[in-house]
Chain A
Amino acid sequence: MIGRPVTAGEDPAATALEPAIARLLTVGTYLAIALLTVGVVLLLASGASPRSADGGLDVGRIPADIAALRPAGFIWLGLLVVIATPSARVATALLGYVRRGERDMAIVGTLILVVIATSVTLARIVEG
C-alpha cells in the first residue's frame, strides 16, 4: 500500500467492504421505514392524532408495546434504527479496516464511535 494513493476502485479488499456497507445502509433504511409505516398505520387506526403525546422514549417499554401492537413501540424502534444505522455503518467499516491493517482509518473509525458515545453520555448528563 506504500507508494501511491489507495482507492476503493484499486484495492481488492475494498471491493468487499464498500458493497457490504452499502447493503447495511439500504437494509437499515428500509427496516426503519417498514417499522415507522407499521407504527403510523396502527396510530391512525387507533384514532390518535400524530400531534398527540408520544409518551417519550422508554427503551425498556418497546418490546411490550410491540407485542401489544401499540404504535409507540414500532415508531420508537424505527427511529432508533434510523439513528443507529450510520453508527453501524462506521462500526462495519472499522472492522474492515482493522482486518486489512489500515491503522489510520481504524483510528478514525474508533474516534467517530467515541464522538457518538460522547453525545449519548453528555445528553444524558445534561438531561439528568
Chain B
Amino acid sequence: MSPLADGLILLVGGVATGLFGSLLGLGGGVLIVPLLTLGLGFPLLTAVGISLICVIVTSGAAAGVYLERRVANLRLGMTLELFTASGALVGGLIAFAIPERVLEGAFTALLVYTALTMLRRPTGPAAGDAPSEAAPDVPSTFTSRLSGPDYRVHRLGVGIVGAVGAGIASALLGIGGGLVKVPVMHVIMGVPLRVATATSNLMIGITASASAIVYLLRGGIQAFVAAPTAIGVFIGASIGSRIASRIDLRVLRGLFVAILLYTAWQMLQRAIA
C-alpha cells in the first residue's frame, strides 16, 4: 500500500471514530483501539498508546468549550483527577507487564459493557439532567466547596475509588474512562448528568496524559501513526459536535451497539487465538 493511502486510511479511520464517539458521547478510545488492532493490524499496546493521544486531543477541545460555558465543575474535576491520574500512573506501569491476551480479554469485556450501557441509556435529551438537590446554606467543608449552585456533591470517598478504577482502565485500555466516571458522579455523587459528562471530559486530559507519558518514554507511542489518527479524530469530533442535534441518535445507537458487539466478538477471537 502507498504511503499516501496509509495516511488517508488512518486519517479517515480517525474521522469516523471521532465522529461516532462525539455523536454518542464517548471519548473515542473504545473505537480507536479496535480500528488500529483489528482493522489495521497494530499490536494492542501500540493502539492503546495512540488512543491515549487521541482522547487527550478530543478532551482538550471539548473541555475548553465546557469550561467557557461553565458546565464543567473545575474544583470537582481537579479533585477527582488527582485519583484518576494516580490510577493511570499505576495502570501505565503495569500495562507492559500484562500479557496482551489478558488486555484483549479485558477490552472485549469493555466493549460488551459499553454496548449494554448504550442499550440502557435514556433517549430523552434532558434525561437524568434534573438537579439532584439544591445546595443549602451549610458550613463550608471541602466537599461542599465542590458542589454547584443547584446541586450538592455526596459520597466523595466512593467517587475517589471510582476515579482510581477509571484511571487504571484508561491506562490499560486506552480509553477516557467516561464510562466509569460519569455513572459514578451522576448516580453515586449526585452530580447532574450534563455536569458529570462535562467534568469527566475535563478530567480525561490529565488522566490520559499521566499514562501517555509512560507509554511515550517507554517507546509505546508510534508517532507517525498517532499523528494522522489524532488529526482525523479531532476533525471527526468537531463535525460530530456540530451535527449531533440533527441526527436521529436512536438509529445511530442501534448501529453502534451492533458494531460494538461484532468488534467484541472479533477481539475475543483474537484473545483466545
Chain A residues packing against B (C-beta within 8 Å): 1-10, 14, 17-19, 21-26, 28-29, 32-33, 36-37, 39-40, 43-44, 47-52, 54, 56-57, 71-72, 75-76, 78-79, 82-87, 89-90, 93, 104-105, 108-109, 111-112, 115-116, 118-120, 122-124, 126-127
Contact = CB atoms under 8 A, between A and B. Distances in A.
A62 B59 CA distance: 26
A121 B21 CA distance: 33
Interface string B116-152: 0000000000000000000101111010111111001
B140 A4 contact: yes
A53 B195 CA distance: 42
Interface string B204-220: 01101111111011110
Nearest to A25: B64
B67 A29 contact: no
Interface of B is mostly: helix
Contacts of A104: 142, 145
Interface stretch (B181-189, B225-233, B262-270): B225-233
Contacts of B99: none
B38 to A, nearest CB: 16
A107 B150 CA distance: 26
Interface stretch (B74-82, B100-108, B241-249): B74-82
Interface residues of B, number: 71
Given A83-B216, A123-B213, A50 B89 contact: no
8 contacts: A8-B75, A40-B228, A47-B3, A57-B219, A72-B224, A115-B210, A126-B218, A127-B218
A6 B135 CA distance: 10
A18 B93 contact: no
A28 B4 CA distance: 27
Contacts, number: 226
Given A10-B149, A22-B65, A4 B135 contact: yes
Contact of A1 (B74, B140, B227): B140
Contacts of A40: 7, 11, 227-228, 231
B67 A2 contact: no
A98 to B, nearest CB: 13
Contact of B209 (A19, A37, A86): A86
Q: Name the residue in B60, B135, B146 with the highest tally of chain A Cβ atoms < 10 Å from its Cβ.
A: B60
A12 to B, nearest CB: 13
A82 B221 CA distance: 13
Given A75-B223, A86-B206, A119-B210, 7 more contacts: A4-B135, A9-B148, A37-B231, A54-B224, A85-B205, A105-B145, A116-B210
Interface string B1-22: 1111011001100000000000
